[in-house]
Amino acid sequence: MSWNLPTLWFVLIGVLWIGYFFLEGFDFGVGMLLPVLGRDDADRRAMLHAIGPVWDGNEVWLLVAGGATFAAFPEWYATLFSGFYWALFLILVALILRAVAFEFRNRSESPDWRRWWDRAIVFGSALPALLWGVAFADFIWGVPIDAHREYAGGFLDLVGPYALVGGLTTLSLFALHGALFLALKTTGDLRQRAWEAARPLWYAAAALVLVFLTWSYVNALLRSDRGIVPDAVPLTALAAVYAVGWLRRERWDLGAFLLNGAGIALVVATIFLNLYPRVLISSLNPAWSLTIGNASSSPYTLGVMTVVALVFTPLVLGYQAWTYWVFRQRIGREEAEPAPVAAAG
C-alpha cells in the first residue's frame, strides 16, 4: 500500500464504515429481535430504552461516511447513487421509518398503535441490515460499470447469490450483536432470553461468515486478484465469531459483545483490503473499475479534509464515548415503565 492522500481517505472511509456497522449493528439487532424477546410492552420498552440514548448518535457514522465519500471520491459516490439507487432508497426509507417509530410508538396507549410502530422498527432494522451486506458484497464481486465509469446494469444485477450471502451474513451478525448487547445491558428474564436467543443466532452467523469469507477467498483466487488482504484478517474474523460461542456459554457478556463486534469489523476490513486500490470493481472489464486514483478529489480538497478531520474527529469520538459512559447502567422492566400521571386537583 502506497501512502498518499487518496489512500489515507480510503482507509478513513473504511474505518468509518467499520464504526457504523459495529455501533449501528446492535441497534439493528435489537430492533429485529423486538417481537422475539419482547413478550409484553414492558419488555419492548426496556429493549428500546437500552438503545434509546445512543441509536441516533450511532447513525452519525453513516452520515460522516457518506459525506466523506462524496468529498473524497466523488466518482465513487456518483456511481454508487446511480447504480445502487433503489437499494439506497429502500435503506433510507427504512431508516426514516425506524426513526419515526422510535419517536411515535409511545404517543398512544393503544396496543394496535404500538404494534404497528413495532413492526416498523423491525422492518426498519432488518432491511438495512440485509441490504448493506448485499451492497458491500457487490463492491468486491463486481457490478456492470462501463468505460465511462457509469453503472450500466439494473437492480437485479445487484442481487446475485454471492451478494445475497453477504446480506444474510450482515443480517445474522447484527441480530447476534443485538442479542449480546441486550445480554450486556438488561436484567432479569429479558437478559436470560437474550442469552438464549444468542445461541441459534450464533450458529447462523458462524456458518454464514464461514461461507461468505470462503467464497470471497475462492473468488479472489480465481481472478488472481486478492487486493492486499492478508490471510490473517479473514482468519481472525472467523476465529472471533467462533469464539463468541464459547464466551456465550460462559456468560461473559462484555467479552462476547466486543468479540462479535471485532468479527464484524474484520469482515468489513477484509472487504476493503480486497478492494484496494479499487473502490468499485467493474464486472464488464477490470480496466473500467473505479480506483482511488481515478475516483478521488483534487489533492487540495483532500488536504483541507484532512485538516478538518484532525480537528473535529477527537471531539466527536470523545463526546460519543462520554455518552456511552453516562448511560452505561443496565436497563430493567422497572426503569422502562412509563411515569405515572399525577392526579389533577
- The string of pLDDT tens digits covering residues 289-343 is 999 999 999 999 999 999 999 998 888 889 889 989 998 888 887 766 654 444 4
Averaged over 68-96, what is the pLDDT? 93
4-25 average pLDDT score: 95
State how far the Cα of 296 lies from the Cα of 331, in Å rounded to an integer: 45
User: Contact, 184 vs 259, CB < 8 A?
Assistant: no
Q: CA–CA separation, 188 vs 75, rounded Å?
A: 51
Measured from the Cβ of residue 342, the count of other Cβ atoms closer than 10 Å reads 6
- Do residues 284 and 145 touch, judged by C-beta distance below 8 A? yes
CA torsion through residues 184, 187, 188, 194, sign: negative
Q: How far apart are CA 52 and CA 267, in angstroms?
A: 27
Task: Quote the CA–CA distance of 79 and 56 in Å, as a whole number.
Answer: 27
> Residue 323: how many CB atoms within 10 A of its CB?
14
Query: Which residues are CB-neighbours of 291 under 8 A, at least 6 positions away?
Result: 277, 278, 279
State how far the Cα of 1 lies from the Cα of 28, in Å rounded to an integer.
Answer: 34
- Measured CA to CA in angstroms, residue 132 lies from 135, 159, 169, 220, 267 at distances of 5, 12, 10, 21, 13
pLDDT for position 339: 47
Residue 2's pLDDT band (cuts 50, 70, 90): low
Q: What is the dihedral of CA 56, 58, 60, 66, to 10 degrees?
A: -130
Q: Model confidence over 194-243: pLDDT tens digits? A: 999 999 999 999 999 999 999 999 998 888 887 888 889 999 999 999 99
DSSP states along 134-194: HHHHHHHH-B-B-TTS-B---GGGG--HHHHHHHHHHHHHHHHHHHHHHHHHB-HHHHHHH
Name the residue among 185, 195, 34, 181 with its Cα closest to residue 116: 34
Distance CA 82, CA 297 (A): 19
Other beta carbons within 10 Å of 195: 17
Residue with C-alpha cell 479534509? 305
61-65, 75-79, 149-153: range with lowest mean pLDDT = 149-153
Q: What is the 3-state secondary structure (H, E, C) of 245-307?
A: HHHHHCCCHHHHHHHHHHHHHHHHHHHHHHHCCEEECECCCHHHCEECCCCCCCHHHHHHHHH
The pTM (predicted TM-score) of the whole model is: 0.93
Instruction: Give the chain's mean pLDDT.
Output: 91
Q: Which three cell numbers stand for residue 104?
A: 411515535
- Neighbouring CB atoms inside 10 A of 158's CB total 22
